[in-house]
């Protein structure tokens, strides 16, 4: 007598693909909004509309606790590195680049995270595979930037440098979280809510609100900003990411980083009609190869051994 095989749930896989599409579409939404309001205003709206879904989720799941207030200093640092500075640099870089190219560069985050990890985390080791992966990946970044001695700070290269700065910022948050946050055993949903909340307060203070209402004059830009970047791209994305980690494990969940650059390139080239060149596709492939070698060189790790701290695992 044969027993029927258990049905495979496709919901985690669907969530995995959906998350990659959501994060990959962030760049065109930044581009649309940037024609109407400033980068700081875009970040303010993104964090505003992304904060409340995460707050509700963290509260209903019982992840938040009053005793966490003693770690407010750590949450402040995380809000700077993994929210305010990171989001601003990516928005500013996207305004100077084609949205597809900016999305392609987002795939290089692991490269810069590794550089900082090697510098500040003794347990992170340099291997031949990781070194080769890092070099190859950085070559891909330089190809996209295409610097020249005649005009090194051209718009293209300036945009790349902003994306690099954002990657370094979020990479620094990985290092900081691993050293100071992970040992505290704070649930990922709670940490995300705290850092987004503090980030929102910071942005509320530093944002210049002059002309901020211009974004509501364009339906596509306003919907993209509120729903695409805020509710889905920030708040909903983290909730979906927690679900994927729970069902598929942190190792599988982290591989979602390969999807957004492809999605961003396709949106830019096919839907928007951006003049993305063959060299940009080639450079993206080179970055992917570098990241693959970098992750492969880290050696086998059990999903249970990997700590996740909400947005410190992967942000968009």
Please check whether residue 5 lies inside any domain of the structure: no
* Exposure letters 138-163 (e unless 16+ CB within 10 A, then b): bebbebbbeeeeeeeeeebbebbbbb
- d(CA 67, CA 57) in angstroms, rounded, equals 19
pLDDT less than 70: residues of the chain: 1-8, 147-155, 298-316
| Secondary structure (3-state) at 47 | helix
Please check whether residue 1 lies inside any domain of the structure: no
Contact partners, residue 239, CB within 8 Å, separation at least 6 = 53, 54, 57, 189
* pLDDT score for 245: 85
Contact partners, residue 143, CB within 8 Å, separation at least 6 = 279, 282, 283, 286
Please check whether residue 3 lies inside any domain of the structure: no
Report whether 133 contacts 296 (CB < 8 A): yes
- d(CA 206, CA 43) in angstroms, rounded, equals 11
| Secondary structure (3-state) at 15 | helix
Name the residue range of residue 102's domain.
Answer: 11-312
How do the residues of the chain divide into helix, strand and coil, expressed in percent and rounded to 5? 80, 0, 20
* Exposure letters 92-103 (e unless 16+ CB within 10 A, then b): bbbbbbbbbbbb
* pLDDT score for 154: 56
Report whether 31 contacts 215 (CB < 8 A): no
* pLDDT score for 296: 80
Please check whether residue 6 lies inside any domain of the structure: no
Please check whether residue 287 lies inside any domain of the structure: yes
Tally of domains within the chain: 1
Give 246-252's long-range contacts (Cβ < 8 A, gap of 24+): 247/9, 247/11, 247/12, 247/15, 248/12, 248/16, 249/303, 250/303, 250/306, 250/307, 250/308, 250/313, 251/301, 251/303, 251/306, 252/16, 252/303
Please check whether residue 4 lies inside any domain of the structure: no
């Amino acid at each position: 007598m044969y027993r029927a095989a258990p049905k495979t749930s496709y919901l985690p896989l669907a969530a995995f693909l959906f998350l990659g599409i959501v994060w990959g579409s962030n760049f065109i939404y930044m581009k649309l909004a940037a024609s109407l309001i400033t980068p700081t205003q875009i970040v303010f709206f993104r964090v505003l509309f992304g904060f409340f879904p995460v707050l509700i989720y963290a509260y209903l799941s019982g992840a938040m606790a009053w005793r966490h207030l003693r770690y407010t200093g750590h949450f402040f640092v995380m809000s700077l590195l993994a929210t305010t500075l990171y989001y601003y640099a990516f928005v500013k870089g996207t305004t100077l680049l084609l949205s597809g190219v900016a999305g392609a560069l987002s795939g290089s985050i692991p490269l810069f995270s590794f550089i900082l990890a090697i510098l500040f985390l003794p347990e992170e080791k340099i291997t031949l595979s990781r070194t080769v992966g890092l070099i190859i990946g950085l070559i891909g970044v330089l190809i996209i930037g295409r610097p020249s001695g005649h005009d090194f700070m051209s718009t293209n290269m300036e945009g790349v440098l902003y994306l690099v700065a954002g990657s370094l910022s979020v990479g620094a948050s990985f290092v900081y979280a691993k050293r100071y946050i992970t040992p505290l055993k704070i649930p990922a949903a709670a940490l995300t809510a705290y850092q987004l909340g503090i980030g929102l307060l910071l942005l509320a203070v530093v944002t210049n609100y002059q002309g901020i209402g211009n974004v509501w004059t364009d339906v596509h830009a306003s919907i993209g900003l509120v729903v695409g970047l805020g509710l889905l791209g920030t708040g909903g994305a983290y909730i979906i990411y927690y679900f994927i980690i729970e069902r598929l494990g942190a190792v599988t969940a982290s591989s979602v980083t390969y999807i957004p650059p492809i999605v961003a390139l396709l949106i830019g080239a096919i839907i928007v009609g951006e003049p993305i060149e063959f060299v940009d596709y080639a450079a993206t492939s080179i970055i992917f190869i570098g990241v693959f070698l970098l992750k492969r060189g880290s050696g086998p790790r059990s999903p249970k051994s990997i700590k996740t701290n909400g947005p410190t695992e992967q942000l968009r």
